[in-house]
Amino acid sequence: MADTQTMPVALVTGAGRGIGRSVASRLSAAGYRVALTARSVEDLAGTAAECPGETLVLPGDITDPAFVDQLYADIEAAWGAVSVLVANAGAGVSASVVRTTDEEWQRMLDLNLTAPFRCLRRALPAMVERRHGRVVVIASVAAKIGEPYISAYTASKHGVLGLVRSAAAEVATKGVTVNAVCPGYVDTPMTDATVRGIVEKTGRSEQEARSALASKQPIGRLITRDEVADAVLLCVTNGAITGQGINVDGGAVPS
């Protein structure tokens, strides 16, 4: 039986469903002890049940700065330093620029930009000290292009790609890589919510709305969450990839 004390530690934010759930179970299968966080305890329990290895379920709101500190303290007390951080928790909002409220704007920046920054800031010192670490932020193709009606989301994702590029340059000689994975539309509960929004706003059928999102990818379908997890695992295993925003978008956006 493996000595679990020597197994490396990964933290996945937004691990309760969608992309985060796939990433967590893939890291677990690859031999990591995986700390899982999101707000819903029930969702996290579902993810833990899909992980073959040891997990730690630590529910909380990742936009709360005190929670981020507590999260790392709890992981370090249980298992020691985090060697892989996957900053995945995120959400979108749809509105024209002129209809975007201050609250919506701030919520996007808090969740998609500031929370990954705080997690990265807390993760890096131990990684640099141990001269090994992997950080992967789940950004979006919205980190690279602008589309209508998602300006707050797009601004937050452009911002987080900038954070990734700058942090990667800072720690490039320290054995630590920092990358973003930039998916197109992925078949997850977040995209289900986008479909519902299109149905409500346009009167189109659910199938029409889903097909419209599928056709955004030149491959003609939604990306699977496992395809996104594959790209995360590549960033985790390959020490020569850093400072990148890797598109997993079926050919939609040039790198």
Question: Which positions are annotated as active-site residues?
Answer: 153
Residue among 25, 5, 28, 9 nearest 17 (CA): 25
Backbone φ, ψ for residue 238 (5° rounding): -110, 110
Q: Which is nearer to ligand NAP, 164 or 174 (CB)?
A: 164
Minimum gap (Å) between residue 193 Cβ and ligand NAP: 7
Do 138 and 228 form a contact (C-beta atoms < 8 A)? Answer: yes
Would you say 132 or 204 has its CB closer to ligand NAP?
204
Q: How far is the CB of 89 from ligand NAP (least distance, A)?
A: 4
What is the nearest approach in angstroms of ligand NAP to the Cβ of residue 247?
A: 10
Q: Which residues contribute to the site for ligand NAP (CB under 6 A)?
A: 14, 16-20, 38-40, 43, 61-63, 88-91, 111, 138, 140, 183, 185-186, 188-191
Task: Give the residue among 93, 146, 73, 143 at the shortest CA–CA distance from 113.
Answer: 143
Shortest gap between Cβ of 175 and ligand NAP (angstroms)? Answer: 26
CB of 205 to ligand NAP, least distance (A): 20
At CB < 8 A and 24+ separation, what contacts does 230-233 make?
Answer: 230/26, 231/181, 232/23, 232/26, 232/86, 232/136, 232/138, 232/181, 233/26, 233/27, 233/30
Given phi > 0 = left and psi -120 to 50 = alpha, else beta, which region is 29? alpha
- Of 19 and 120, the one with the shorter C-beta distance to ligand NAP is 19
CA distance linking residue 17 with residue 38, whole number of Å? 9
Q: How far apart are CA 170 and CA 61, in angstroms?
A: 28
To which H or E segment does residue 114 belong? none
Comparing CB distances to ligand NAP, the nearer of 41 and 97 is 41
Q: Which of 227, 153, 226 is nearest to 194 (CA)?
A: 153
Nearer to ligand NAP, 89 or 127 (CB): 89
Comparing CA positions, the residue from 121, 91, 88, 85 lying closest to residue 108 is: 91
